[in-house]
Amino acid sequence: MKNSLTVGDSPQLVAGRFNVLIVYFSATGNTAKIAQAAETRFKELGADVTTYDITSCAGRRKEIDFEPYQAVVFGAPIYSCRAPRVMREWLKTLDGQRKKASIFFTYGGFGVHPAHYSTRQILEERAFIVVSSAEFLGAHTFNLGGWRAMEGRPDASDFEMAKQYVDITYKRFTGEDDEILGELEATERTEEQLDAMEKFRFTVLTQFPTRDGEECSMCLVCEEICPGGAMDAASGKVDGGKCIACLACVANCPDNVLKINDMSASWLRKLEMEQETRESIQAKKSRIYV
């Protein structure tokens, strides 16, 4: 267990200030955008803020010292109704030291629960006190392969909700509001059933990202960013046993040479399965849980 964690490039934290740490996982940038909006708002309210990206394996290997922070915000995309497995495993190594914490997710307009409930459960087991949670709409990762879910999100309405989320959360962090997060929607699904749901991604991503013989500038970004440690930049090949289908490599390749299969047919199947239309999905709103 990591008891003494230190963010490597720690900022100059000023004694006596209210220090908030925002830790986030973001494969394709939506969660990072909300983290950035939250940082801006916390600062407007007078807090000092440090953000830390745990998307890559290297990011999760680095130790974080929670000591200087009064409160911690955890941001994640929803993957099959939970936080990404690699992030859940990382959270289970932390020592919350009875610090106040908050959770936020971005998601593509489909399943949400039990993400809030299960992440809160992990954080409370690690001795954090969870005071709030929120979900924000974001373009679905699989839009990179032809889905059309939540295009253009997060948008102004989502960022406005992020501001309200920070206003509520900051009051709870500082003790101006001494409430903590109320009861959340659990699930009747077992861990095994939730684990089985994770396999759905590979009925959608049927061809792992590949350069398919194309030349590239060999910047190594795809390998460095890969949260599963699955990408080998030199060969352009992916270890299918480690790939979590996050598409960070595809989204971040500067040469745009990493290709996946066309997912358009699975988009139509998904809408039918969920009894949704593109319009009904698009009409969903970001939400705060208190």
Ligand X SMILES: Cc1cc2nc3c(=O)[nH]c(=O)nc-3n(C[C@H](O)[C@H](O)[C@H](O)COP(=O)(O)O)c2cc1C
Positions that interact with ligand X (CB under 6 A) = 26-32, 77-81, 106-111, 138-141, 201, 245-247
> What token pair was written down for 82?
């939970």
- Whole-number Å distance between alpha carbons of 224 and 178: 41
For 237: left if phi > 0, alpha if psi spans -120 to 50, otherwise beta; the answer is: beta
Query: CB-based contacts of 189: which residues, under 8 Å, 6+ apart?
Result: 114, 197
Cβ contact 286:158 at 8 Å: yes
Asked if 73 touches ligand SF4 (CB under 6 A), the answer is no
Cα dihedral across residues 36, 41, 44, 46: positive or negative = negative
Cβ 127 to ligand X shortest distance, Å? 26
Cβ 174 to ligand X shortest distance, Å? 28
Q: Which pairing describes strands 19-24 and 71-77: parallel, antiparallel, or unpaired?
A: parallel
Q: How many residues does the chain have?
A: 290
Which of ligand SF4, ligand X, none does residue 220 bind to, with CB < 5 to 8 Å depending on kind? Answer: ligand SF4
Cβ 266 to ligand SF4 shortest distance, Å? 16
Q: Which pairing describes strands 231-232 and 129-137: parallel, antiparallel, or unpaired?
A: unpaired
Nearest to 70 by CA among 16, 11, 123: 16
**Footprint of ligand SF4 on residues 241-270 (CB under 6 A)?**
243-249, 253-255, 257-258
Nearer to ligand SF4, 13 or 219 (CB): 219
Nearer to ligand SF4, 96 or 145 (CB): 145
- Whole-number Å distance between alpha carbons of 230 and 244: 8
Residue labelled with tokens 């999905």 = 281
Cβ 234 to ligand X shortest distance, Å? 25
Cβ 91 to ligand SF4 shortest distance, Å? 18
Asked if 211 touches ligand SF4 (CB under 6 A), the answer is yes
Which of ligand X, ligand SF4, none does residue 258 bind to, with CB < 5 to 8 Å depending on kind? Answer: ligand SF4
Asked if 238 touches ligand SF4 (CB under 6 A), the answer is yes
In the complex, which residues of this chain contact ligand SF4 (CB under 6 A)?
A: 209, 211, 216-222, 226-228, 230-231, 233, 238, 243-249, 253-255, 257-258
